[in-house]
Chains A and B, each alone.
Chain A
Amino acid sequence: MRFVGLCAAVLLAVGLCFSSAAAKELQVGFVYVSPVGDAGWSFAHDKGRLVIEEMDGVTTSFVEAVAEGPDSERVMLNMARKGYDLIFATSFGYMDPMLKVAKQFPDTVFMHCSGFKTADNMGTYFGRMYQARYLSGMVAGAMSKSNTLGYVAAFPIPEVIRGINAFALGARAVNPEATVRVVWTKTWYDPATEKEAAKSLLDVGADVIAQHQDSPGPQEAAQEKGVYSIGYNSDMTQFAPKAHLTAPIWNWGPFYIETVKQVMDGSWQSASVWPGLAEGTVDLAPISDVVPQEVRDQVMAKKAAIIAGEEVFTGPINDQSGAEKVAAGTAMTDEELLGMTWFVQGVIGTTE
């Protein structure tokens, strides 16, 4: 990874030589943790970058496959030194390096995705992906015949656990018999391992495979077995045209446009923002034709309700043991959601 980072730094230097010609435009830099072609996390952010690239008076550039840690600090430092006005860093591990660089360059605006540290010139942002996951859970629950849903998940951290819980709540809202089996791969991106994990879920009877992984490996496994799948990050239909039902997806364009506008007119202020379905930052990919119309209508009605302000995590919610964690009528606070480390009833697996 160090070598890749080095390459990235060299490429950045070369890229900057070209981009410095366009002075006086707002220069926006992006730092990605994986290559943009991954059809996943970084790809989704890069689609957002391409949207702001179209704006007047904005030039953008990006550095991909930057290792978290010292390599990322060097990349961000380079961007700041070259006079970038706004820098987005889109991986959790960029948080501390970005904070360090932000302190050295008070005139540059820094935006960190998925973290929790801020500074006067550094804001943090993330999306309420769990809202879209709830909707995808409804589709999965309605389409399952075995009532067993498989979920290939990366790491047992609150972000992922929250997504699994929302998925399970959505599935059980339309199919109270549904259970969600979880396999942790402990990797964000390893198609071979993810595919194998999906196969292991298929072997125990899962007939819809969902994922919180960045590769389409699980989609391939579902397609080969002839069952259904739910993608993630972006519409993964191309990898499993027969299996793919829908996917909770990122749509960073609107949020990035808004941020760029704020920086341009000077109204930007450091904050911690968490936009969701209502702002269009997360969404549900088009639902496959194999899903019955009434299910699609039901999902769309729920989507409208969430946009109108309905909370996904509203009680009564029980944990795996059946004990009530959230009382009827109470909604979980953002703070509780951000620190979620327990599974809801209907999820089979361990958060350890």
Chain B
Amino acid sequence: MNYEILIPLLAAAVQSGTPILYATLGEIFTERTGILNLGVEGIMIVGALSGFLVAKITGNPAVAFFAAGLAGAVAASLHGIVCIIFQGNQVVSGLALTILGVGFANYIGAAYVGQAAPGFDPLPIPLLSQIPGLGPIFFRQDLLVYLTYLIPPLMWLFLYQTRYGLSLRAAGENPAAAIAAGVNVVACRFVGVLVGGFFIGLGGAYLSLAYTHLWTNNLTGGRGWIAVALVIFAFWRPSRAIFGAYLFGGVMALQLRLQASGTQIPSSLLLMLPYALTIGVLVLASWRRGGTDEPAALGRNIEPVD
């Protein structure tokens, strides 16, 4: 594989990894507070539809992108209400949210299938885009990709270097101790669910506003589930999520490029690559459990205090 093929492949890896990266970061933020949200796929597609509709109505992609995040937060709040207020089972609630979100978006979106809306186009950064190798890969993307370069460090700063971040993590590690220390655990977990939902919604919007400028049924195509798996791969750390998302995007882009380059490997085998990688990653992650940062109280509800 030569240089002319490799650079576009890596650039495609960054682009197809970006929607997954948004969703993975959102899910990491949520799980950090102890809430397991399996509704990523459903939240993503609600975000994708909301972003598309707002872009179509207002003609302003930036407003649409923000609206998609808000829609994601609203969708995720259902999970928060069920699990945090009513102590519902987090796994069941998350799965229900996925089914609801996908059904809802396909139903509302049916009238808009195949239509196009304004979105984000590639916007090369002056100077940086001229760097050989790195320029074409990282700095000839669209604005939404550049945003994802900033989010992981900011999320890390917030979670690990601020008091609020510590409270949020405490809610996910040891809620009882956090309550004893005077932390409002319920509020923390709600913040986790809402902010996480916001980012997941942005991931969906990336698909309908930048990756393509179209709406269609099942636009997310299972990317939400990949994000759930990547959280484990990333050991719940924002920085490792970048690596995982690009690796995954790279494998998806690679299988298409292998076909285009005229390889004789059956396409069915190539198409298995991303999913084989998911399973491999999960096995690897559980094997090396020692290194993970899995929140100790992940998936467990807080017992009513009174």
Q: Which residues of A contact B (CB under 8 A)?
A: 3-4, 7, 34-35, 37-40, 43, 64-65, 150, 156, 181-187, 189-193, 195-197, 199-201, 203-204, 206, 215-217, 220, 224, 238-239, 348-350, 352
Contacts and interface: CB of A to CB of B under 8 A. Distances in A.
Interface stretch (B149-157, B266-274, B283-291): B266-274
A200 B260 CA distance: 6
B260 A183 contact: yes
B221 interface: yes
Contacts of B253: 196, 200
Contacts of B213: 220
A216 B213 CA distance: 10
Given A35-B113, A38-B113, A184-B271, 15 more contacts: A4-B217, A7-B107, A34-B217, A181-B262, A186-B267, A191-B212, A191-B216, A196-B12, A197-B256, A199-B256, A203-B4, A203-B8, A203-B257, A204-B261, A224-B122
B211 A192 contact: yes
B218 to A, nearest CB: 8
Nearest to B257: A200
A349 B259 contact: yes
Among A7, A37, A200, A239, which residue has the most Cβ atoms of chain B within 10 A? A200
B292 interface: no
A68 B290 CA distance: 46
A220 B119 CA distance: 12
B219 interface: yes
B146 interface: no
A192 B207 contact: yes
A193 B19 CA distance: 13
Interface of B: 4-5, 8-9, 12, 16, 99, 102-103, 106-107, 110-116, 121-122, 207, 211-214, 216-219, 221, 252-253, 256-257, 259-268, 271
A200 B256 contact: yes
Nearest to B259: A183
25 contacts: A3-B102, A4-B103, A4-B217, A39-B114, A64-B110, A65-B106, A150-B260, A181-B260, A183-B256, A184-B259, A187-B221, A191-B216, A192-B219, A192-B221, A199-B8, A200-B259, A200-B260, A201-B260, A203-B4, A204-B5, A204-B261, A216-B214, A217-B212, A220-B214, A350-B266
B267 to A, nearest CB: 4
Given A192-B207, A192-B211, A350-B267, A215 B216 contact: yes
A43 B216 CA distance: 13
Given A191-B216, A196-B12, A4 B106 contact: yes
A189 B256 contact: no
A38 B102 contact: no
Contacts of B12: 196, 199-200
Contacts of A150: 260
A196 B16 contact: yes
Given A191-B212, A196-B12, A4 B107 contact: yes
Nearest to A215: B216
In the A-B complex, list the 3 residue pairs whose CB atoms are closest, starting with the nearest: A352-B266, A3-B103, A39-B114
A193 B216 contact: no
Nearest to B215: A191
Contacts of B214: 191, 215-217, 220
Nearest to B106: A4
B110 A195 contact: no
A191 B116 CA distance: 11
A11 B17 CA distance: 38
Contacts of B4: 203
Nearest to A6: B103
A349 B219 CA distance: 27
Contacts of B102: 3
A35 B261 contact: no
B141 to A, nearest CB: 13
Contact of B103 (A7, A186, A196): A7
A164 B219 CA distance: 26
A65 B114 contact: no
Contacts of A201: 260
Nearest to A4: B106
Nearest to B252: A196
A4 B109 CA distance: 11
A199 B219 CA distance: 18
B219 to A, nearest CB: 7
A7 B260 CA distance: 39
Contacts of B221: 187, 190, 192-193
A40 B217 CA distance: 13
Given A189-B217, A190-B221, A350-B266, A182 B259 contact: yes
Contacts of B116: 216, 238-239
Given A35-B110, A199-B12, A200-B253, A348 B217 contact: no
B61 to A, nearest CB: 15
B102 to A, nearest CB: 7
Contacts of B260: 150, 181, 183, 197, 200-201, 203-204, 206
A40 B214 CA distance: 13
Contact of A35 (B207, B217, B262): B217
Contacts of B115: 37
A350 B260 CA distance: 10
Contacts of A239: 116
A200 B261 CA distance: 8
Contact of B110 (A43, A65, A185, A196): A65
A290 B219 CA distance: 33
